[in-house]
Amino acid sequence: MTQAFKHNRYDVIIIGARCAGAATGMLMARNGARVLIVDRETKMHDTLSTHALMRPAVTLLDQWGLLPRIKAGGTPAVRSTQFHYGAEEIVVDVKPVGAADGLYAPRRWLLDAVLRDAAVTAGAELHTGVSFVSTITDQSGRVVGAILRQPDGTHQSVYADMLIGADGRRSIVAQSVGARTIQTSAHRSATVYTYVDGVPNQGYRWYFGAGTSSGLIPTTNGAHCLFTSCTPKAFHRWFGHDAFKGAMTILSAWEPDSVADLGQRGAIEKMRRFAGAPGHIRQCAGPGWALVGDAGYFKDPATAHGITDAFLDANRIAQALWATPGDARLYQAERDCIAPVLFDVTSKIASFDWDYDTLKALHMKLSLCMKAEHEALLPELPIAA
């Protein structure tokens, strides 16, 4: 059935309605822009993710006024992070910032829905089941709109000052606008994850061993997301036959008691598999177009930073287009201040080619990147007279 768009022309058309697209649409609409968001999915199911939000993402949710909905949706606060390097354990406390009394790891069916609702409440027009087909350009080559496919197969041309691709890692918008690839990653990891019940909330727990890593992440409704990773080469050996058993074997190096218990009770949801994919940093701004989230910048999940980057992108592009309407170059410049460093750290962690001292140094660098990202979000302190 054809869904009628309210207008033929918008300030912004956003392709993709998950954490990058919905957040961008919400901020643009709050800035008074006429926003159209479309997503090809109709039901907006869960998506591949182990949910961990880092400090900048939680601060943004707080600044956007959405944290109460994440908490009310049953997502517990994470008040510490444990790093296990072989037998060594380091615990870092999570300090409260603003109304954020910890970190959070909401399920995507909650997080993405909260963002979409907020976008619609702010005045954005959202259509699901509608796919991006191609760009419309003017004689100078500037993108001026998009051809969209309705659920009944009919195509419709819609015009805008800015087309934003928030359509994920395999972005068709990026292909359509010819976004240049600036960097690709040398390494990738492979991951399986599921959900377990009955684990006490001891914060984020990250475990690193020889050629493997694992984690327990407290998520929505009292469950923990349990993940395990290895190199793509070792994926079949660990997870090819019985993925849950493989995951339990890896985790048992650090949590033998929990594993004995979990092994008996089993997982509460099916095992999800991600065999790994190369990371990319793409050109993320051009005449009449921009890319946010994984569409412009995809990293291995080894640093659990994709959603955080999606939010940072949303925040930066909304501010850049506010300052220079129709021109997203400032957005690209700001994104590229920290992105290449974090990208390189992520690729090195994903390689599993490290000893524990090297890994600790990589984590320290990652922490400094996140500190810089976070400080940029905080209001400037008044200068004492």
User: CA-based diameter of the chain, in Å?
Assistant: 68
Q: Is 349 in the site for ligand FAD (CB under 6 A)?
A: no
**How many chain residues bind ligand FAD (CB under 6 A)?**
35
Q: Which of residues 175-234 bind ligand FAD (CB under 6 A)?
A: 191
Query: What are the φ/ψ torsions at residue 350 (nearest 5 degrees)?
Result: -65, -20
Q: How far is the CB of 228 from ligand FAD (least distance, A)?
A: 11
DSSP 270: P
Contact 149, 133 (CB under 8 A): yes
Q: Could you say which residues in the range 262-321 bind ligand FAD, by CB under 6 A?
A: 274, 293-295, 301, 304-308, 310
Of 27, 166, 199, 328, the residue at the interface with ligand FAD (CB under 6 A) is: 166
What's the length of the chain?
A: 385
Which helix (H) or strand (E) element contains residue 216?
A: strand 212-218
Q: Please provide the DSSP assignment of 99-127 as one string.
A: TB-SB----HHHHHHHHHHHHHHTT-EEE
Amino acid in position 263: G
Which range in 15-23, 91-99, 181-189, 243-251 contacts ligand FAD by CB under 6 A? 15-23
Residue 145, interface with ligand FAD (CB under 6 A)? no
- Which amino acid, 60? L
Verify binding: residue 369, ligand FAD, rule CB under 6 A.
no
Q: How far is the CB of 309 from ligand FAD (least distance, A)?
A: 7
Q: How far is the CB of 108 from ligand FAD (least distance, A)?
A: 7
Residue among 10, 64, 104, 132 that touches ligand FAD (CB under 6 A) = 132
Residue 50 binds to ligand FAD (criterion: CB under 6 A) = yes
Number of H helices, E strands in the chain: 11, 18
CA–CA dist 338, 281 (Å, integer): 12
At residue 311's C-alpha, the angle toward residues 183 and 193, to 5°, is 80
For the CB of residue 381, give the shortest distance to ligand FAD in the complex, in Å: 28
For position 334 contacting ligand FAD by CB under 6 A, the verdict is no
What interhelical angle do 256-265 and 243-251 show, nearest 10?
A: 160
Q: Should residue 49 be labelled a site residue for ligand FAD when binding is judged by CB under 6 A?
A: yes
| 40 is an interface residue for ligand FAD by CB under 6 A | yes
Tell me which of 47, 175, 181, 358 binds ligand FAD, using CB under 6 A.
47
Q: Which of 14, 18, 285, 328 binds ligand FAD (CB under 6 A)?
A: 18
In the range 52-111, which residues lie near ligand FAD by CB under 6 A? 52
* 174 lies in the site for ligand FAD, by CB under 6 A: no
Whether residue 151 contacts residue 127, with contact meaning beta carbons closer than 8 Å, is answered with no
Residues 119, 108 contacting (CB under 8 angstroms): no
Going by the DSSP 8-state scheme, the letter that residue 57 receives in this structure is H
Task: Establish if 19 lies at the interface with ligand FAD (CB under 6 A).
Answer: yes
Cα 40 to chain centroid distance, Å, stands at: 18
Residue numbers at the binding site for ligand FAD (CB under 6 A): 15-21, 38-41, 47-52, 131-132, 166-168, 172, 191, 274, 293-295, 301, 304-308, 310
